[in-house]
Amino acid sequence: MDIKEMLNLVKSGEMGVDEAQKILKDLPYEDLGYAKLDHHRALRSGFGETVFCQGKPDEYLVEIYRKFFERDGEVFGTRAVKEQFELVKAAVPEVTYDPISRILKVERKNKERTGCIAVCTGGTADIPVAEEAAQTAEYFGSCVDRIYDVGVAGIHRLLSNRERIGRASCIVAVAGMEGALGTVIAGMADCPVIAVPTSVGYGASFHGLSALLTMLNSCANGISVVNIDNGYGAGYIATQINRLAVR
C-alpha cells in the first residue's frame, strides 16, 4: 500500500487518522529489543535478510535463526564457527554447516538457479572466501562456475580457462598476496569483475591490505572491489548483476 492509497482511505474515512499516522511511522521490521529484523527486505530488494554470525552473543544468534526460519522457511548466515552450528542446531535441527565457507543455513529445496557467475581464486588458500561467495550466489539463485588456483604467477593456468571465463555474466576474482588476478581477468573478459582481496599471505601483505590496494589500483577497466575476505558481499553483488543479465 503506497502513500497515495492510504491518504485516499483517510480522506474517505475508511482509515482513521491515528491508524494512518501509525502506519507512516511503523516500518515493517520486527523489534526484538536488541535487534530489528527486516522481514520486509525480501520484498524491497529481492534478497532476504542474512545473518553475520561472527561475535553474535549466543542467545541472540539462536533467537534470530529461529525467527527467520519460522517466518521464511529458510535462513542464511556467514562466518559461523562450529560451536555456533551446534547451538543453533539444537533449536533449528534443519540447519547445516560447511566448515570451509563457514556458512550456516537452512535452504529450501528445489530452488531454481539461472545465469552464470564465475568464481576464480589465485591459490588454494583463497578457497574459503571463494566458497562464501559461490554459496551466497547459489543461495540467491545464481549458477556458479568455480575456477580455482589460477593465479597469475602461472599465467597458462588462467589462459587455458579463457572460454569458461568468457561465458559468465559476472566474475568474482578472489586473491590474496599480491592480488593481481582481478586485473588479468578483467583484461580478458567483457563483463564486470568483482574483486575480493583475501587476508592470505604474510609479512608485507598486512592481512590483505596489499591485495586490496592492488585491486583498487587496477589498470584494467571493469573491476570494482569489496572488503578484505568479503566473499558474501561479492556473491551478493554478482547475483544482482546476474539477475539483471538474465531478466
- In whole angstroms, give the CA distance from residue 106 to residue 92: 9
Write down the least CB distance from residue 89 to its own copies, Å: 21
Q: Which of these, 104, 52, 105, lies nearest to 82 by C-alpha position?
A: 104
In whole angstroms, give the CA distance from residue 182 to residue 224.
Answer: 9
Given the complex with its own copies, which of 69 and 176 has the nearer CB atom? Answer: 176
Q: What angle do CA 49, 74, 76 make, to 5 degrees?
A: 50
Residues forming beta bridges with residue 76, ordered by sequence position: 105
Smallest distance, its own copies to C-beta of residue 163, A: 8
Shortest reach from residue 67's CB to its own copies, in Å: 13
Between 89 and 206, name the residue whose CB sits nearer to its own copies.
206
Q: What angle do CA 152, 158, 162 make, to 5 degrees?
A: 145
Work out how close the CB of 68 gets to its own copies at its nearest, in angstroms, rounded to a whole number: 14
Instruction: Report the residue number, 77 or 197, with the smaller CB distance to its own copies.
Output: 197
Rounded to the nearest whole angstrom, what is the least distance from the CB of residue 11 to its own copies in the complex?
Answer: 6
Q: Which is nearer to its own copies, 21 or 94 (CB)?
A: 21
| Residue 238: CB minimum distance to its own copies, A | 9
Q: What cell does 179 get?
A: 592480488
Q: Cβ closer to its own copies: 110 or 228? A: 228
Beta carbon nearer to its own copies, 80 or 177? 177
Between β-strands 51-52 and 75-78, what pairing exists: parallel, antiparallel or unpaired? parallel
**Cell 546476474 sits on residue:** 242
- Distance between first and last Cα of the chain: 26
CA separation for the pair 143, 173 (Å, rounded): 16
What's the grid cell of residue 68?
527467520
Q: How far is the C-alpha of 151 from the C-alpha of 210, rounded, in Å?
A: 16
Smallest separation (angstroms) from its own copies to the CB of 144: 15
C-beta closer to its own copies: residue 91 or 244: 244
Q: What's the chain's length in residues?
A: 247
Judged by DSSP in three states, 173 sits in strand
